[in-house]
Amino acid sequence: MSLAQEILELKRSQRAVVLAHNYQSPEIQDLADYVGDSLGLSQQAAATDAEVIAFCGVHFMGETAKILCPQKIVVLPDAAAGCSLSDSCPADKLAAYLDEHRERNFYVVAYINCSAAVKALCDVICTSGNAQRIVSRIPRDREILFIPDRNLGSWILESDPTRLMTLWPGGCHVHERFTPAAIQRAAAQHPATKILVHPECDAAVRALGDIVCSTEKMIAYCRDSEAKEFILVTEPAMLHRMRSEVPGKTFFAAPTDDAPCSECEYMKYNTLEKLRDCLRDLSPQITLTEDLRARAETPVRRMLEWSQL
């Protein structure tokens, strides 16, 4: 039996669903039941009736699935698949900061790229697909603390500059590698292309984009656009879905100053072999204490509710 056949057979016998982020390798995406952005993945996790969720992404994504589905087994192909952005805001530092600034009565908004322990300290979660909508629901007289991504936070502020918002100084090393000079060089080689930028990039790079949006919205934009060529300023695995779902158009991964693209090494920890093994062994699993899970669930549920309104 091929590895792919083994995985399909294990999915059936374990009553498992495979959820994969858009940055997973093409062979994993091709075997997944659902491929999408962080918002779509959390909605899928909340809705599935499978008994096992095999989460092909990074650790905080698996945790989010477990927060929403405590009765289900959530496995990751590689438990070491972390996230530099999540690591830039440890729960103890956030707790100390909130304690020190108690008088400011922050409304804490967390980008979903953070640990369950951090989510448990927050009022609401957002993703790059719903960030503006979520922030628009917060009473205007409350000062917002936005964690952990200063770039996503500053993007929200660009669309609503009068918001009172303090930004946590965190970032994603994959998106912060892009520079205006590298993007301008790529644009000069393909003058008719549209440039799509992920909001985790810094403001000078975002300013070069025809659109700034989540990975999922990038697909809709390219499908609906009359343009024929696109530069994607994000992780290069995005090219796989673009090429299969938007045929007849040409896509380029954006370069950095010293590399042809910017890969997320953590996303690539997952392999087909590890996916097969986690489905077979039901390990490694995400486990959370019920107290932590329940505290983290409140802001995640609030996000799901607000993103439907």
Per DSSP, which regions of 203-293 are E strands? 211-212, 229-233, 250-253
Comparison of 50 and 149: residue with beta carbon closer to ligand SF4: 149
307 lies in the site for ligand 13P, by CB under 6 A: no
Are 19 and 53 a contacting pair, CB within 8 Å? yes
CA distances from 33 to 8, 11, 63, 217, 260 (A): 10, 10, 19, 19, 30
Candidate segments 67-75, 123-131, 144-152, 179-187, binder of ligand 13P by CB under 6 A = 123-131
- Residue 113 CB-half CA count within 13 A: 30
43 lies in the site for ligand 13P, by CB under 6 A: no
42 lies in the site for ligand 13P, by CB under 6 A: no
Identified binder of ligand 13P from the candidate list 14, 24, 29, 38, rule CB under 6 A: 38
Q: Which 212-251 residues touch ligand SF4, going by CB under 6 A? A: 235
Q: Considering CB distances under 5 to 8 angstroms, the limit depending on partner class, which of ligand SF4, ligand 13P, none binds residue 183?
A: none
Are 91 and 115 a contacting pair, CB within 8 Å? yes
Candidate segments 65-73, 124-132, 203-211, 254-262, binder of ligand 13P by CB under 6 A = 124-132
Q: Please, what is the minimum distance in Å from the beta carbon of residue 198 to ligand 13P?
A: 6
The alpha-helical segments, DSSP class H, found in the chain are 3-13, 26-31, 38-47, 59-68, 84-87, 91-100, 116-119, 131-136, 150-159, 173-176, 180-189, 203-206, 215-224, 238-245, 272-281, 290-306
Residue 79, SS3? coil
Q: Considering CB distances under 5 to 8 angstroms, the limit depending on partner class, which of ligand 13P, ligand SF4, none binds residue 84?
A: ligand SF4
Per DSSP, which regions of 223-273 are E strands? 229-233, 250-253
Identified binder of ligand 13P from the candidate list 115, 128, 193, 262, rule CB under 6 A: 128
Token readout for 232 is 């994607």
Which helix (H) or strand (E) segment is 196 a member of?
strand 194-197
Q: Please, what is the minimum distance in Å from the beta carbon of residue 55 to ligand 13P?
A: 12
Are 102 and 141 a contacting pair, CB within 8 Å? no
Comparison of 198 and 274: residue with beta carbon closer to ligand 13P: 198
264 lies in the site for ligand SF4, by CB under 6 A: yes
Comparison of 59 and 72: residue with beta carbon closer to ligand SF4: 59
Q: Considering CB distances under 5 to 8 angstroms, the limit depending on partner class, which of ligand SF4, ligand 13P, none binds residue 279?
A: none
Comparison of 85 and 279: residue with beta carbon closer to ligand SF4: 85
174 lies in the site for ligand SF4, by CB under 6 A: yes
Binding site residues, ligand 13P, CB under 6 A: 22, 37-38, 113, 127-129, 172, 200, 214-215
